[in-house]
Structure 1
Amino acid sequence: MKFGLVIRYVGLIMLLNAAFMLISAVISLFNGFDTGFYPLLLSFLITSIIGAFPLIFVPNDTNLSNKESYVVVIMAWIMSCLLGMLPYLIWGGEFTIANAWFESTSGFTTTGSTVLNDVEALPKGLLFWRASTHWIGGVGVVLFAIVILPSMGRLKTSLTSAEMSMMAKDNFRYTTKKILQIIIVVYVGLTLCETVALIAVGMDWFDALTHSFSTVATGGFSTKNLSIMYYDSLAIEMTTAFFMIVSGLHMGLVYATIRGKRNNLFRSEVARFYILSLAICTVIVSASLLLNHNYSTVGEALRYGVFQVASYTTTTGFASANDAFWPPLAMIVLIYCTMQCAMAGSSAGGIKADRVLLIFKAIKARVLKLQHPNAVIRIKQNGITQDDGMVNAAILLVVIYLLSALAGTVILAAMNIDLLTGFTASITSLSNVGPGFGKVSNLDNYGWMPDTAKWLLSGLMLFGRLEFFGFIHIFMLRSWK
């Protein structure tokens, strides 16, 4: 293991984080040297020194093994979250060590959970930094770095393989260099388009940009305590909902569709399943709201049903209404949305629609095999035959997800946290969604929880964001020969 080289590339990624701290400090500067300026400037200096130090003493080498690439990925995520704490800790306020770690981890993993009782008390520089952590983490801390930093050369291939899941790679069908170009074009393009659209429907430029960072990264940090509900605007809600849904699509397919390629969204079986699941869940939730008299008209029920289903399914977690008092059926559907989530190859977390569809097909194939023992039954998805390894990997990931959710629920129950709150907090952390139900509903926060619970949930956020196996690798380095 070439630890020096690993630290060198982690340091390079930290310099990218430092750059966004500096931009955030500039935002503070242009807002009258608000109270976020010096914490952000000092954080920039500390992060820059930590990032630059290994670049001075460790010679450049682009030959990393698979094991070393995985270590770079895991260490980059952990160090990003650690150094991302600095602006919060130095600023103070509600930010204890546990709170700052939770907020930073929630930002980079695009979970969007918060410990803050008053988000609006933060200066604009810190609000921009919060949104920036989403934008950096949306496509993956390491992927974002290798897209931006040309100096990584041949190393891009091995780090891309370590960061991106096999399920996400299926619909790209390009070289690594082209994949990275597609990611940056789609990611930046969607961010710019949503920013312009939100300004057009009434947001100021700062709120439009920060909410676009959160939407396209499917994160959920807002500059307002009431999230999108603050604006009470149908145009803002539907604009945000549209970009949430698009951000839940596979970036490669979005690019192919815009370019008129044959391998596009309209031909994707998974994209159809994702959109169909959104539609079915929206109908059920809206009907439940209407029948239980939460809203008096079909239009109102659809307005809030569409937004909340899109918000949970895409793991964004914005709120357009207080769903803590919604009927049980609506809650159950939203919990399902929290677990399934959007497509692989998007910035969303969770199990992913691709795996859910694959498991449904595996169940169907098993039933057919029982009916016709001698038949050769192949499972296909998007016209590609899926081997047993891919199916087993999907099933295994779901099993690990459910066991992790169960473990999280049990541990939180041991801290006297009620079952609904504990269960939904666990799955929303694993899926990087943000809001749950009970005492962590979409207009509540996690600040009331004991510090031990915050550390636990932060760990689940990282565990889920790295799709379990990536995180497990770090504890099994001795088994790599």
Structure 2
Amino acid sequence: MIRTKVVVKFLGFILLFNSLFLFISAAISLFNNETSLIPLTISTIICAVAGILPRLFIGKTGEVQFHEGLAISVIGWFVTCIAGMLPYLIWGGEFDTIANAFFESVSGFTTTGASILNDIEALPKGLLFWRSSTSFIGGVGIVLFVLLVLPEKKGVMMSFYRSEVSDLSKMSFLTRSRQIIRIIATVYFSLIIVETTLLTLLGVSFFDAVCHSFTTVATSGFSTKNLSIAAFDSIWVEIIIMFFMFISSIHFGLIYATITRKKNNIFSSRPARLYLLVMLTGIILITLQLTGENFYGFWESLRYAAFQVISLGSTTGYATVDTANWPVFSIILLLYFSIQCGMVGSTAGGIKFDRIYLFFISVKKQLKLILHPEGVFAVKINKQMIDQNLQLQIMVFIILYILTFSLTALLLSVMGIDLLTAFSASIATIGNVGPGFGGVSSMANYGHLPDAAKYVLSFNMLLGRLEIMNVFALFMMLSLKRKG
């Protein structure tokens, strides 16, 4: 049984946490004497009051149970996205409809990085900072962020840990849930600080460096520039951002183990090595095609191919070139990377490379069983046994993932959207990638789509960020409760 008071009280914590970043954004607007000051101030007050009221009127509730943790994890994302759209909606401009404001908010918090904006640079700095902050908050998950500042309670930790962190991503963390959250946060903040420092040293303004570091390490791709990373026109800026996009798509536990010189690190992880190999293969193939078909010279082809493969493969979604007119084979490869995406335990979205890797190992096992019915074959990753239940979970997840983006593409097609745009937009949103192809390519946006499509794609982004299963599990739990 889910206790409503428990859920409401924790949602209050989430809104209070959001109000902190809204306050910082309002302070930036005040410092720069911007028109976004009033919208951000009003939004700060609304979130703060809504967050404080449950604390005042709801007493002690005891420990959070697993079902309550699941409900808070799912509902918390929806509440956060609704609260996050307030400054956009009040400010107006291109956020002239609820659909536009909600889409931009969901895109930020889910670290998708898809946008409805035609002129990003028209936004005041306060709103730009809030826009980047939504990705920063969503990068490791709003619930995990809140857990960092709450008093340690074992039952609370485990309830949220089980609902927020996938079973497969826990495999490289041989430690307690609280320590895992701290490890994730340590790696996350460290990457942001280092990237901000390097970008600033390369001549990027401190404001732009912070905003881009927020959205790079979160693998979001929200930029403060209309031309995305192409606006900086610097190979060194691109190299720094490529490195941090890639490293942020690696399991944070492996990054921590590598830095602290533990055994189970990036170099000893077979999935991590294969992930790098697949990315390099994609870069080489696209470079060869772009060069062979005289799109660009060799070095220019390598520069663009490397950036786009890493950008889409990590689900960041930054751009340095318009890929809309690239050859079909290159587009197909980029679509594949938009589906495969990064590793579990990272800020990347998508199916995740580890799941695809495990899927093929499981298929290999089934083929062996056909040839040797009496045989016993284990499925392992990095010498760790994968039980049958986890294998089944991954199979179900992949099936649901494919069914969801197929259904979304069908719905968009019914709305009159062309097939390439519908298909790629569906993949790009459920995978939290951002840009697709056709009408939503790397240098285009989602603003021209009908409002109904924006709501469908917003839900798609939330499904992808919550890894589908949690949302369906909550719906099933609530439906069973009604029947009971």
TM-score class, shorter:
over 0.9
Structure 2 counterpart of 1:129: 130
Find out whether 1:213 has 2:214 as its counterpart.
yes
Alpha-carbon deviation of 1:477? 2.1
**Does structure 2 conserve the Cα–Cα contact (< 8 Å) formed by 1:132 and 1:213?**
yes
Structure 1 counterpart of 2:157: 156
- Counterpart residue type for residue 369 of structure 1: L
- Counterpart residue type for residue 420 of structure 2: L
Deviation readout 1:292-342 (Å, 9 max, x if unpaired): 11112x211111111100000110000011111111111001100000101
Deviation readout 1:126-149 (Å, 9 max, x if unpaired): 000000000000111101111233
Q: After TM superposition, list the pairs within 5 Å mapping 1:359-374 onto structure 2.
A: 359-374=359-374
Structure 2 counterpart of 1:255: 256
**Does structure 2 conserve the Cα–Cα contact (< 8 Å) formed by 1:94 and 1:116?**
yes
Cα distance in 2 for partners of 1:11, 1:427 equals 33
Cα distance in 2 for partners of 1:205, 1:348 equals 25
Deviation readout 1:367-409 (Å, 9 max, x if unpaired): 2222222221111111111122111111111111111111011
TM-score, normalised with respect to structure 2:
0.97
**Does structure 1 conserve the Cα–Cα contact (< 8 Å) formed by 2:64 and 2:155?**
no
Structure 1's consecutive aligned runs of 4 or more residues displaced over 6 angstroms after TM superposition are none
Deviation readout 1:334-365 (Å, 9 max, x if unpaired): 10000010110000110001100001111222
- Counterpart residue type for residue 477 of structure 1: M
Structure 1 counterpart of 2:65: 65
Cα distance in 1 for partners of 2:50, 2:6 equals 15
Q: Using the aligned pairs only, state the percent identity.
A: 45
Find out whether 1:403 has 2:403 as its counterpart.
yes
RMSD: 1.2
* Deviates further, 38-47 or 56-65: 56-65
Cα distance in 2 for partners of 1:412, 1:472 equals 22
Structure 2 counterpart of 1:143: 144
- Counterpart residue type for residue 128 of structure 1: F
Q: SS in structure 1 opposite 2:324?
A: helix
**Does structure 2 conserve the Cα–Cα contact (< 8 Å) formed by 1:304 and 1:320?**
yes
**Does structure 1 conserve the Cα–Cα contact (< 8 Å) formed by 2:315 and 2:348?**
yes
Q: SS in structure 1 opposite 2:172?
A: coil
Structure 2 counterpart of 1:48: 48
Cα distance in 2 for partners of 1:137, 1:333 equals 28
Find out whether 1:281 has 2:282 as its counterpart.
yes
Deviation readout 1:424-473 (Å, 9 max, x if unpaired): 00011100000000000011000000000000000000011101111112
Structure 1 counterpart of 2:459: 459
* Deviates further, 356-365 or 236-245: 356-365
Structure 2 counterpart of 1:76: 76
- Counterpart residue type for residue 317 of structure 1: G
Structure 1 counterpart of 2:25: 24
* Deviates further, 409-418 or 155-164: 155-164
Q: After TM superposition, list the pairs within 5 Å mapping 1:331-342 onto structure 2.
A: 331-342=331-342
Find out whether 1:231 has 2:232 as its counterpart.
yes
Cα distance in 2 for partners of 1:60, 1:246 equals 42
Cα distance in 1 for partners of 2:52, 2:162 equals 25
Q: After TM superposition, list the pairs within 5 Å mapping 1:385-396 onto structure 2.
A: 385-396=385-396
- Counterpart residue type for residue 118 of structure 1: D
**Does structure 2 conserve the Cα–Cα contact (< 8 Å) formed by 1:74 and 1:470?**
yes
- Counterpart residue type for residue 252 of structure 1: G
Query: Structure 1 stretches of 5 or more lacking a match?
Result: none
**Does structure 2 conserve the Cα–Cα contact (< 8 Å) formed by 1:343 and 1:352?**
yes
Cα distance in 1 for partners of 2:396, 2:60 equals 38
Structure 2 counterpart of 1:355: 355
Cα distance in 2 for partners of 1:149, 1:19 equals 15
Find out whether 1:432 has 2:416 as its counterpart.
no
Q: SS in structure 1 opposite 2:71?
A: helix
* Deviates further, 225-234 or 55-64: 55-64
Structure 1 counterpart of 2:327: 327
**Does structure 1 conserve the Cα–Cα contact (< 8 Å) formed by 2:5 and 2:61?**
no
**Does structure 2 conserve the Cα–Cα contact (< 8 Å) formed by 1:338 and 1:431?**
yes
Alpha-carbon deviation of 1:38? 1.1
Cα distance in 1 for partners of 2:76, 2:375 equals 48
**Does structure 2 conserve the Cα–Cα contact (< 8 Å) formed by 1:62 and 1:152?**
no
Cα distance in 2 for partners of 1:184, 1:355 equals 24
- Counterpart residue type for residue 399 of structure 1: I
**Does structure 2 conserve the Cα–Cα contact (< 8 Å) formed by 1:62 and 1:155?**
no
Cα distance in 1 for partners of 2:80, 2:279 equals 33
Cα distance in 1 for partners of 2:440, 2:394 equals 29
* Deviates further, 220-229 or 171-180: 171-180
Q: Number of aligned residue pairs: give it.
A: 479
**Does structure 2 conserve the Cα–Cα contact (< 8 Å) formed by 1:4 and 1:58?**
yes
- Counterpart residue type for residue 448 of structure 1: H
**Does structure 2 conserve the Cα–Cα contact (< 8 Å) formed by 1:413 and 1:419?**
yes
TM-score, normalised with respect to structure 1:
0.98
Q: SS in structure 2 opposite 1:323?
A: coil
Q: SS in structure 2 opposite 1:147?
A: helix
Alpha-carbon deviation of 1:154? 4.5
Q: After TM superposition, list the pairs within 5 Å mapping 1:107-122 onto structure 2.
A: 107-122=108-123
Query: Structure 2 stretches of 5 or more lacking a match?
Result: none
**Does structure 2 conserve the Cα–Cα contact (< 8 Å) formed by 1:202 and 1:236?**
no
